[in-house]
Amino acid sequence: MEKPTPPGTFLHVAGARPNFPKLAPVYDALRRRGAPQFVVHTGQHFDDALSGVFFRQLGMPAPERNLGVSGGSDSEVIARIMLEFEAVARSIDPVCVIVYGDVNSTIAAATVAVKLGIPVAHVEAGLRSRDRSMPEEINRIVTDHLASVHFATSSDAVENLAAEGITGDGVELVGNPMIDTLLLSMERFDAGALRRDLQLPHEYATVTVHRPGNVDTDEDAREIVEAVHGVADLVDVVLPVHPRGSARLRSQGLEKHDRVHVVPPLGYLEFMGLVRESRLVVTDSGGVQEETTVFGVPCLTLRPNTERPVTITHGSNQLVGRENVVRAATRVLAEERGVSVRPPLWDGAAGERIADSMNRRFPHL
């Protein structure tokens, strides 16, 4: 049994590194309002480089419970999280379960909570790539149709929800809590030590790849490696390698280029410092598209679509295929770096808006 928790407890669920910078400002804002809270880490990203270091660097206490669920297919992970999370949710009886983003932890916790009659609030609701081959797209859609409260980061997300019949008081445009964390941490970002260790020149590119469509087959990995090597012909490349796809990318010769610097996963502060000082970023990550938008760093997204079109309309992000990433990189490197233009409400106060809304909807005193 879990230790007794006060009435009106908000139960946060996170499982992967993209969740933690979104959770931190919401947790902090609710803490300042005296709201009782309980954080469950599902264990989806379990090692220190992908998990523990984020909590320390973001100034958050360790999660009250870690379910330790990792490894296996999407269905296996979701099922195991549901089984473990149900016991926690029953013992706490929270006033609301707050889920973040679009990972397997999100859909698993939302499903359990609804079955138990517990309201669900979805932070980062309404994002759509319209590509159902992406596991994250299924997670987004199902979670939004289970949730009763939807916190949207951008106006297109609100429109997406409305198109699916999700409207009314349960939908709020609050801005992007991940950008709260980014802005709050800005003065601590520093890639100096890493740049010295790698002997990087003044201009370099940061590359991240981890999505199934890019790394789950030898053919995909080989094409990605060819694209990375093509970019490295133009500028030094730093690639913090994600556990997903690491072995396959390396087997296809990722490190067989003198200007490709492969490094282990980085902490939040180190990675953001690296991105901020980059001349160019090539990625398949959704969050990195948003972060480069705030930094004003040119971003080439190695995907045919994005659930974050605001990074294209308001930022320097563009979608590219593997076959034309080198051509796009050549063009970007020949241009002057653009000016950062933040989307509406990406002002560092999203966590405050979410906390105010939660207090109105679920009084805890």
Please state, in angstroms and rounded to a whole number, the distance separating the CA atoms of residues 52 and 62: 8
| Alpha helices (H) in the chain, listed in sequence order | 20-32, 52-57, 74-92, 104-115, 135-146, 155-163, 177-185, 192-198, 212-215, 218-232, 246-251, 268-276, 286-295, 310-313, 325-334, 350-361
Our CA angle for 298, 202, 311, nearest 5°, is: 10
Q: Dig out the tokens for 360 from the structure.
A: 């109105």
| Residue 257 three-state SS | coil
Which residues are bridge partners to 187 per DSSP? none
Please state, in angstroms and rounded to a whole number, the distance separating the CA atoms of residues 138 and 128: 9
Given the residues 145, 210, 229, 314, the one annotated as active site: 210
Q: Among this protein's residues, is 229 annotated catalytic?
A: no
**CB-based contact 301:283 (threshold 8 Å):** yes
Q: Dig out the tokens for 113 from the structure.
A: 């909570």
Using CA atoms in the order 331, 333, 335, 341, what is the torsion angle rounded to 10 degrees? 100
* Positions marked catalytic: 210
